[in-house]
Amino acid sequence: MFERTLNIIENDLFKSIQKQNILLIGVGGVGGYALESLIRLGFQNITLVDSDKIEKTNINRQIISHTKNLGKLKVDEAKKRALLINPNAHIKVFSLFLTKENIDSIFDKHYDYIIDACDTITIKILLIKKAIENQSQIITCLGTGNRINPCEITITTLNKTYNDPIAKIMRNLLKKENLPLNLSVIWSKELPIKSKNREVGSIMLVPSIAGIYAAYFILENVKKKTI
């Protein structure tokens, strides 16, 4: 299955990839592509958290969504897709909307890496706190809605971002709690396009690249620790 991967990745690195425990929060536009990338790279110990069900409006941009699984839980469909790719993967799911009161329930083990692909700012802050507390490496995905240019996506630190309303709010909240601002984030330089109505617009080009970058971030960090 991974013969082509092993042509460009050393055996020691691949073995290390298979041992990592990853927590992925949100399996929609960004999170779905992050999971797809992780599984196809050989990561196989992944915990998924998402409370949503698949809706018709998800189909245009979310890799797990199609006309035959409308109304089904995203975590269940994501797990099903992951296991079709690699039946040896260990996928644990929580159909749960995270809050301050229940977030401890998902930390029943240590995670080497956390991918925050959720939309709720308060949860993003909680996840950063948990990552610091548990000595997990976290990559936070910022806004991909109302954007169309995948070339503007990059990995940087929160204190270096601009043109992102989510990042601005997060910086203010982290400052109030004396938490670091040099946290790794996936971010778009593109100015958000004004939506035609109050709903956020989104196409697959930007969230897909953000999800792939999240997996790449973990791969590169595992590589640095393996060499």
Here the CATH number for the domain that contains residue 212 is: 3.40.50.720
Distance between the two ends of the chain, CA-based, in angstroms? 24
- Coil, strand or helix: which one is 218? helix
Residue 203: band (very low, low, confident or very high) from pLDDT cuts 50, 70, 90: very high
The whole-number pLDDT of residue 54 equals 98
Euclidean distance between CA atoms 27 and 33, whole angstroms? 8
Residue 124: band (very low, low, confident or very high) from pLDDT cuts 50, 70, 90: very high
Euclidean distance between CA atoms 19 and 148, whole angstroms? 35
Enter the tokens of residue 195. Answer: 């939506």
Q: Is residue 87 over pLDDT 80?
A: yes
Pick from 34-48, 97-111, 127-141, 191-205: least confident: 191-205
Q: Is residue 197 over pLDDT 90?
A: no
Domain count, the chain: 1
Mean pLDDT confidence for 9-24: 97
Domain with 28 in it: 3-226
Strand stretches in 37-146, DSSP E? 45-49, 90-94, 113-116, 137-141
Mean pLDDT confidence for 116-143: 96
* 57 Cα distance to chain centroid: 20
Based on the number of CB atoms within 10 Å of its own CB, is 7 exposed (0-12), middle (13-18) or buried (19 or more)?
Answer: exposed
Q: Is residue 227 over pLDDT 80?
A: no
- pLDDT per residue as tens digits for the range 172-186: 999 999 999 999 999
**Amino acid, single-letter form, for residue 123:** I
Enter the tokens of residue 189. Answer: 């330089």
Residue 159: band (very low, low, confident or very high) from pLDDT cuts 50, 70, 90: very high
